[in-house]
Amino acid sequence: MSLTILAIESSCDETSASVCVDGKILSNFIANQSVHEKYGGVVPELASRAHMQNIVPVVDTALSAAGLQLSAVDAIAFTQSPGLIGSLLVGTQFAKSLALALNKPLIAVHHMQAHVLANLIPDERPAFPFLCLTVSGGHTQIVLCKSPTELRVIGETIDDAAGEAFDKSAKLLGLPYPGGPLIDKYAATGDPKRFKFPEPQIPGLDFSFSGLKTSILYFLKNAGTTNIYKEEFLADEASQKKFIEENIHDICASIQDRIISILLNKLKKAAAETGITHLCLAGGVSANSGLRKAFTELGEKMHWKTYIPAFQYCTDNAAMIAITAYYKYQAGQFAAMDTVPSARAEW
Ligand code: KG4
Ligand code: ZN
């Protein structure tokens, strides 16, 4: 008997729905919310309203792209946590209503587990146990994955996430939100070794990015002369602007290079400590072309087998919710009708 799952993702500013049959993704439709662009970040109230407007057409589109009707669906999955509470509420209420109306089981999915399991979407998959470096706008984690339903965070950021490091650096450079993809674009033709930013010394497998942000801030305020804060180093605004304009490619390449080395040095340490040789990337920042290339090259050098989800499964999407729900269904992990969303959720 085949198993058809309809999944909904609405944790932040993307409204997405996906249909998955027997672990194969048939459709994955994503509506982006451009309404936040002029505010330089996601405005929670506007995100919830846009989800409410988008959710019916998004689900309809995902179903028709899969060539299926609602009556063919065997289970409804949704992102329960973590995320913006108003955004999560829209997806949760919609999924619960559908499950109730269709009299089908409900599956609650953890967004971070789903980012990791995006690696199980293609036919060529990592073998268990594998390690996953999950890098998104809100999280930076090294996850040890023993099975689709047994995951443990063995390292994470103690302050900013890698995506925040990209976005905040972009903001300092005067680039629009979200700045990660733009840094990636400028970095492609820049010299990554031109400017040196410090690598934090954090014990164990944890990460820190707040020091990097401070060092970039003073570097730009000093028009590239030093990373140190001292009144006498501060350049006037016109010189700061000119320095950025003339060096944007090299600055972006150097920032990206440091973020990548912070991430991959910890991943290398995690692989050495656990002896695990199947390694994955996940999350929005894994769309970064420099990280994808450096990760693949490191894998070749270390004799790892490396896996990276396709672009459309790196940033927020419902296909990763659907694949996670597929495994949760098989493990009998269903949600009760009184399930509520949670902005933060422990693993
Ligand atoms: O996973 P995601 O879509 O949403 C969260 O769950 O947070 O990740 C969004 C993050 C943003 O910080 C965005 O700037 C970053 O992923 N991002 C990138 C790239 N594409 C998206 N960062 C660097 N390079 C990219 N190409
Ligand atoms: Zn995400």
Q: Is 163 in the pocket of ligand 1 (CB under 6 A)?
A: yes
Query: pLDDT tens, 13-72?
Result: 899 999 999 999 999 999 988 887 778 788 888 999 999 999 999 999 999 999 999 999
How far apart are the C-alpha atoms of 38 and 25, rounded to whole Å? Answer: 34
Q: Atom 3 (ligand 1): residue with closest C-alpha?
A: 315
Q: Of 215, 114, 202, 201, which Cα lies nearest the Cα of 158? A: 202
What residues form DSSP beta bridges with 335? 106
- pLDDT value of residue 37: 77
- pLDDT value of residue 3: 98
- List of residues 6+ apart from 87 with CB closer than 8 A: 10, 11, 12, 13, 44, 47, 48, 51
Q: What angle do CA 27, 289, 202 make, to 5 degrees?
A: 110
**DSSP notation for 281-304:** EESGGGG-HHHHHHHHHHHHHHT-
- pLDDT value of residue 178: 85
Centre of ligand 1 to C-alpha 166, Å, is: 8
Q: What angle do CA 315, 41, 138 make, to 5 degrees?
A: 45
For residue 309, cis peptide bond before it (omega within 30 degrees of 0):
no
- pLDDT value of residue 213: 94
- pLDDT value of residue 336: 97
- pLDDT value of residue 20: 98
Q: Which of 14, 136, 140, 141 to mutate to test the pocket of ligand 1 (most atoms within 8 A of CB)?
A: 136
- pLDDT value of residue 38: 78
Which tokens belong to 275?
């002896």
- pLDDT value of residue 226: 86
Centre of ligand 2 to C-alpha 139, Å, is: 8
Please identify every stretch of the chain with a pLDDT value under 50, giving residue numbers as ranges: none
- pLDDT value of residue 229: 78
Q: Is 283 in the pocket of ligand 1 (CB under 6 A)?
A: yes
